[in-house]
Every structure is written in C-alpha cells, then in structure tokens.
Amino acid sequence: MSAFPPEVWMRIFSFVKDTETFKHLALTSHQFEALAQEEQVRSMCWSTAVDVKGGFTHWRTDPRRRLVQDLDIRLVESLEKFDGGWSTSVPRLQIFANLSTVTLRNGRITPAVHAVLAQLPKLRRLRLQCTSLCAIVHGAEPPASSATVTDLLLQEVRVVDAMGTQLTSDALLARDMSLLPRALLHGLRGLAISSDESASRVLRQTLALIPHAPRLARLSVEGPPALPVPVPEPAQALALPALTAFRGPQCLAALLVPSALALADVALTDELSPAGALSVLAALHPRAVRSVELALTRWDAAVLHEIAHRFAACTRVRLAYCYRGPSDAELLALGAQHLAGMPLLDTLLIHARPGAAVQTAPRAYYGKDYGEALRRWEAEGAAGLREVPLPLSREASMAYLAVWTKWTPRLEVVSLGERLWTRAFGGTVWSS
C-alpha cells in the first residue's frame, strides 16, 4: 500500500489537534516509512508508545510530550524483514530522540539493532523477548553504545519454523550469534530473565550477565518447574552489594544473599522444605527485609517463628504450603500467634496451593483454637492487617469473613480456598 497523499496527512493532523480523546493512529509499514519524511509530524505531540505488529504501527498521542519515549515492536513476520525496517526507518525518525523504553518481541539482536540502540542516548528500559538467550551472551563484542540502560527484561520463547517444527535453542544459536551490547549493562539497575525452555540455561545466562551489571538492584530469574538445578562456578561473580529485590530459585539466592546487605524483598520461586526455608531466612539481614515470599512443602511453625522474631520490620509475608488435612489447622493457629507480634505487618497471605486436599473446612479452622489466635491478633496489632487468608471451603470462608472484617478495619484482600471474585462485607474477596 502506498503512503498517504499530503491532503490525507493534513486531515489526520487536523483531527489529532482538534480531538483530545484521540488515542490511536494505525499505519502500514509503507506509511511508517513515509512518516519519517514528514516534517509536520516532528512538531506534533506524538506519543509515549509506538507499537509495530505484523506490519502495522500504532501511534498513541499524548499532549504532555512532544517526542516518543516508548517503542514497542511486536513481530509476527520475517525477522529479516524487520532488520531492514530498523536500519532504514528508525534512524531517520528524529521524534525518537527522547526514546527511553524499547521493547522487542520475537526479534533478533542484530548489528542493525545495535546501530539504532547506539543512537538513543536516553534509553533506560530495554525489554527483549528473544528466540535464544544463548545468542545474547555468547559471541563477538558489538560496538559500544552511549546509552545507559537501567532496566532489562530478557525472555526466551518457543519458536517454530514455517512447517510448525519447534526450533531448538542450539539451532537458533547457530543462526544468530548476535549480542546484546554489554556496554549497555554497566548502569543496569533491574534485570528480569526467564525461559520456558530450560531452567539450567536461565541460570547460566544470569551468571554470564551479572558481572557486567555491578549496580544491579532488582533481579528476577524464572524458569520451568525443574528448578533448582546446580549452579556453575564461579560463585564470586554473583556479588551484588546493591541488590534490594530478588525473585528466583533457592540455589541462586544462596549465592546472592550473603553479599546483599540491603536486600529488602525476597521471593523464592521453588518449593522449599522447612529446613531449606530456614537456611535462606538465616542468611538474610533482619533490619533490611520488608517482604518475604516462600513456598513450603508443608506447614511448619518454626518458619513462622523465624520470620516473626528476626524480621520485626517486615510489612508483607506471603506463604504457600501444601494443605494435608485437618491436622494443619492447629499448626495454622499456632503460626497466627507467632505472626501476631509483628508490629509493622500490614499484608499477610497464606495460600493452600492448587491440588492440595482442601475439600471441607476442618472445624479447628473456625473453632476455639483459631478463634483464640484471631482474638490475640486483635489485641496485639492485627488491626493493621490489610490482606489475610481463608484457605477453606467457600461456605466456611464466607461465614468466617465477617469476623475478619470486624477485627481488621483496614482489610482489603482476603484469599479463599477456591477461585472466585466477589465483594462481601464492604471489602474485596480474592482467591489466588
């Protein structure tokens, strides 16, 4: 399709100027080329986002900004065609001078992309959904860039060829040996890396990238359920003194936690035994921790005792566990007594994981023992809670919810034992 003639462009410009609620302008790839040559466009209040999907570009207008800041590229066609689009169109678009966020989905890190990134001095957030994480870490060093990326998201995705055959990472690596410019990583503050292909490869990529990001403050590492896997040496490459938030497997946390004196948010993605959870908690620095998220193989009061007594400054606790039957009710009540003494706690979520045997509510959950624990919560500061659990059947949960809302006036979220969204007693009832 040919580009719009000048008179059509003028009508579009007039419409944008006269319509405050205008949000989208869809352009074909040819019109995208023509846009780079339109002087009038550069003076328009164009967007914080450009979205290219299957050959279409969506521009969002924002009267508060003159230059594009966010660019989101979503590819469903040939990667080679996209490479040509970057090398010909993007460098000529001067409205990208303030570009701070770039998202590449299903794309390659090619020399042409390197050249474009090097021309974006204000680039801060880079999100890459790549066909192979291996292609990012290994290969020849690309040209240096003047940009300073602070947040990087890497996601390895499954890719199929034209015949529907899934391409393996090894095949993709042989086809694409391009690299993420490591010069961009020096000022990195946030890194999220994930893969639906291999848990071990996620860890290897993390170990390869961390030495290039000494200022890293936020790290999220996620892979298939096969985690944990052995972490290769050298462990000293994982010294991150500026780390404040970590989400990932226990094997990686064991290498990071000792040097992370400011670590405040901790979430472990793999299922831990009580002993494993206690070992991680023992390595944390009590005065810094504000949020703890753990998944336990079974309910254990010793874990809650450790949280309650070592992390007095903690404001958020989230625990998932495998509910094994009525015998867990007494343990839950005991755990409630432990957590009741945490003066700053305002968010608590205890969740019986899917697949657990939560059929009917055991009497002890809403009987004398649990009631005594709740009354102690009220006496020792439970009025500050905003999020509480009810891992029961729907009938028992709804009956007991009235007690929770009476004793916790700041209550905002309640977790039920089954999936439902509803509103009751003036608060939101939620099931994770």
Digit-coded pLDDT (tens) for 307-358: 888 887 888 877 777 655 555 555 655 565 666 667 777 666 666 554 333 3
Q: What phi and psi values does residue 138 have, to the nearest 5 degrees?
A: -105, 150
Which token pair is 184?
Answer: 């961009």
Report if residue 310 sits inside a domain: yes
Q: What are residue 156's DSSP bridge partners?
A: 130, 195
Burial group, residue 36, by CB count within 10 angstroms (0-12, 13-18, 19+): middle
Residue with more model confidence, 407 or 210? 210
Report if residue 215 sits inside a domain: no
Integer Rg of the chain from CA:
26
pLDDT, mean of residues 8-28: 43
- CATH number (domain holding residue 294): 3.80.10
Structural domains of the chain, count: 1
CA atoms within 13 A on the CB side of 59: 26
The pLDDT, as a whole number, for residue 286 is 84
The distance in angstroms from the start CA to the end CA of the chain is 48
* CA angle centred on 316, ends 357 and 414, rounded to 5°: 50
Q: What is the dihedral of CA 136, 141, 143, 146, to 10 degrees?
A: 70
Report if residue 2 sits inside a domain: no
Query: What's the rounded Cα separation, in Å, for the pair 367 and 350?
Result: 18
Query: What's the rounded Cα separation, in Å, for the pair 141 and 129?
Result: 20
Encoded amino acid at 47, one letter: S
Report if residue 35 sits inside a domain: no
What is the residue range of 334's domain?
Answer: 271-432
Is the Cβ–Cβ distance between 263 and 288 less than 8 Å? Answer: yes
The pLDDT, as a whole number, for residue 194 is 74
Residue with more model confidence, 285 or 234? 285
Is the Cβ–Cβ distance between 130 and 178 less than 8 Å? Answer: no
With a pLDDT cut of 70, the percent of the chain lying above it is 27
pLDDT, mean of residues 194-220: 75
Q: What is the largest CA-CA distance in the chain?
A: 78
Mutual orientation of helices 327-339 and 368-379 as an angle, nearest 10°? 10
Report if residue 421 sits inside a domain: yes
Q: What is the dihedral of CA 272, 278, 283, 289, to 10 degrees?
A: 90
Write the CB contacts of 413 (distance below 8 Å, at least 6 apart in sequence).
347, 349, 386, 387, 388, 427, 428, 430
pLDDT at 394 over 80: no
DSSP for 401-418, written as a single string: HHHHHHH-TT--EEEESS
What is the band of 222 on the pLDDT scale with cuts at 50, 70, 90? Answer: confident
The pLDDT, as a whole number, for residue 329 is 53
Query: What's the rounded Cα separation, in Å, for the pair 105 and 127?
Result: 8
Report if residue 10 sits inside a domain: no
Query: What's the rounded Cα separation, in Å, for the pair 200 and 224?
Result: 9
Report if residue 352 sits inside a domain: yes
- Which of left, alpha, beta for 405 (phi over 0: left; psi -120 to 50: alpha)? alpha
Nearest to 186 by CA among 218, 148, 159, 157: 148
The pLDDT, as a whole number, for residue 176 is 36
pLDDT at 219 over 80: yes
Report if residue 221 sits inside a domain: no
Which token pair is 159?
Answer: 């890719």
- In this structure, of 22-26, 128-132, 133-137, 238-242, the range with the lowest mean pLDDT score is 22-26
The pLDDT, as a whole number, for residue 178 is 38
Query: What's the rounded Cα separation, in Å, for the pair 322 and 389?
Result: 14
Burial group, residue 395, by CB count within 10 angstroms (0-12, 13-18, 19+): exposed
- Bridge-based pairing of strands 316-321 and 291-295 is parallel
Which token pair is 240?
Answer: 């991150």
Task: Express each pLDDT in 46-75 by its tens digit.
Answer: 333 344 443 334 444 444 444 444 454 443
Which token pair is 430?
Answer: 């939620």
The pLDDT, as a whole number, for residue 334 is 59
Three-state secondary structure readout of 134-186: HHHHCCCCCCCCCCCCCEEEEEECCEECCCCCEECHHHHHHHCCCCCCHHHHC
